[in-house]
Amino acid sequence: MNSGPILFCGDPHGVFRHIIAAAHHTNASAVVLLGDMEPQRPLHLELAPLIEQPVWFIHGNHDADSDELWMRIWGSELADRNVHGKVVELPNGLRLAGLGGVFREAVWYPSASAAREGAPAFRTREEHARTTPRQDRWHGGPHRRHWGTIYPEDIDSLADLQADILVSHEAPGYHQNGFPLLDDLVRAMGVRLAVHGHHHDALDSSGVWEVQGFESRGVGLRGVNALWPDGHWEVVVPGELDAERAGRYRST
Tell me how far apart the alpha carbons of residues 200 and 251 are, in angstroms, rounded to a whole number.
Answer: 14
Q: Residue 5 or 172: which CB sits closer to Fe ion?
A: 172
Give the residue from 72, 73, 99, 105 showing the smallest Cα distance to 86.
Answer: 99
CB of 170 to Fe ion, least distance (A): 8
Looking at beta carbons only, is 125 or 169 nearer to Fe ion? 169
For residue 113, give every residue at least 6 positions away whose Cβ sits within 8 Å of its Cβ, in sequence order, or none. none
Pick out residues in 38-77 that bind Fe ion (CB under 5 A). 60-61
**Distance in angstroms (rounded) separating the CA atoms of residues 160 and 139:** 27
Q: How far is 123 from 144, CA to CA, in rounded Å? A: 17
**Closer residue to Fe ion (CB): 81 or 198:** 198
Residue nearest to Fe ion (CB): 198
Residue closer to Fe ion, measured from CB, 12 or 60: 60
By CB under 5 A, residue 198 contacts Fe ion:
yes
SS3 for 19? helix
Residue 26 contacts Fe ion per CB under 5 A: no
CB 192 within 8 A of CB 125: no
User: Footprint of Fe ion on residues 129-168 (CB under 5 A)?
Assistant: none
- From the list 45-53, 117-125, 197-205, 229-237, the region that binds Fe ion by CB under 5 A is 197-205
What residues line the site for Fe ion (CB under 5 A)?
36, 60-61, 198
